[in-house]
Amino acid sequence: MNTAWKQDPRLKTMDPEKVKYLSNLAETVERTPKDKLMPLFMSMAAGSSQYHFSDDETDLLVSIMTAKMNPAEKKRVEMLRSLSRRLGAGKQGRPKKG
């Protein structure tokens, strides 16, 4: 398993519970067949997490998840991130329904 991400300086300021989550995520990604990584990423993006990650933390999370992906797959992930950011920005300022 590639543990180079554990040397990232952003981890020093991150909540230890988030670091544990990232470690578990890295193990899951390592065990997941390459052709199942995109569905894994999509299910995580669709699901709600108990953690809220900053942009730097999200960058680290994505770098872990995409480590085994080819350039085309990484590009798709980046497109999804970009779309997610735009959709999230569109929700800001709107009153919640219900």
Q: Is the pLDDT of residue 12 over 70?
A: yes
Contact yes or no for 5/64 (Cβ under 8 A)? yes
Which pTM was predicted? Answer: 0.61
Amino acid at position 37, single letter: L
Q: What is the DSSP string of 13-42?
A: GS-HHHHHHHHHHHHHHHHS-GGGHHHHHH
Asked if 66 contacts 25 with a C-beta cutoff of 8 angstroms, the reply is no
Query: What pLDDT is attached to residue 61?
Result: 79
- Domain positions in the chain are 57-91
Residue 48 clears pLDDT 80, i.e. is over it: no
